[in-house]
């Protein structure tokens, strides 16, 4: 199970940005709508053969970068957790998206994207050292918790007739 899907990446950073970075052809043929449809396994029947081929290539590139991110994350998490994780915490999903986005930019990443990438790597290092807990148990599943409200009292202060006890 991947930590993030192409759809997650498109939702996290916008389909337009990812389409621009993933379409390596000239002229650029892939639009945000085309990449969204392809990521959701939708139909591209309304587009030309060249547009369909470019979209397939762009989606393949996105998926390859997400797979690279998964591998990097597994390298960090393997010191503390069995990988791949059975349940993907949001923290890991966002880190996977940040790593994949940075990789899509190759050597043209902006300062913001580079900072997010470095922060994701720092987070993964902290997880591998045990400084950050993912909230999953050793099997990679979320432990069951009792989410009910609990009330604790120090005991009675007044009795039924209004006297202090």
The answer to whether residue 160 is domain-embedded is no
The answer to whether residue 49 is domain-embedded is yes
The contacts found for 25-28 with CB under 8 angstroms, 24 or more apart, are: 25/54, 25/57, 28/54
The answer to whether residue 1 is domain-embedded is no
Given a cut of 90, is residue 30 above it in pLDDT? yes
CA distance 117 to 96: 9
pLDDT digits (tens, 9 = 90+) for 73-119: 999 999 888 999 888 999 999 999 999 999 999 889 999 999 999 99
Q: What is the per-residue pLDDT for 133? A: 87
pLDDT digits (tens, 9 = 90+) for 45-64: 999 999 999 999 999 999 99
Q: Are 58 and 19 in contact (CB under 8 A)?
A: yes
Number of H helices, E strands in the chain: 6, 0
The answer to whether residue 13 is domain-embedded is yes
Burial of 55 (0-12, 13-18, 19+ CB in 10 A): buried
The count of domains in the chain is: 1
Report residue 101: phi and psi, to 5°: -60, -45
Q: Are 132 and 77 in contact (CB under 8 A)?
A: no
The answer to whether residue 105 is domain-embedded is yes
pLDDT digits (tens, 9 = 90+) for 75-85: 999 988 899 98
Q: Are 10 and 35 in contact (CB under 8 A)?
A: yes
Q: What is the domain range of residue 41?
A: 6-129
The answer to whether residue 162 is domain-embedded is no
């Amino acid at each position: 199970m991947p930590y993030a899907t192409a759809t997650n990446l498109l939702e996290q950073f916008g389909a337009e940005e990812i389409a621009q970075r993933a379409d390596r052809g000239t002229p650029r043929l892939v639009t945000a709508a085309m990449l969204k449809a392809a990521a959701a396994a939708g139909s591209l029947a309304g587009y030309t053969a060249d547009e369909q081929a470019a979209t397939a290539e762009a989606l393949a590139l996105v998926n390859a970068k997400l797979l690279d991110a998964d591998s990097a994350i597994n390298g960090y998490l393997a010191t503390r957790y069995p990988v791949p994780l059975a349940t993907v915490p949001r923290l890991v999903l966002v880190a996977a998206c940040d790593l994949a986005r940075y990789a899509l930019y190759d050597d043209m990443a902006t300062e913001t994207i580079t900072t997010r990438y470095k922060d994701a790597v720092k987070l993964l290092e902290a997880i591998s050292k045990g400084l950050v807990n993912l909230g999953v148990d050793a099997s990679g599943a979320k432990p069951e918790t009792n989410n009910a409200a609990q009330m604790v009292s120090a005991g009675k202060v007044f009795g039924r007739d209004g006297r202090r006890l």
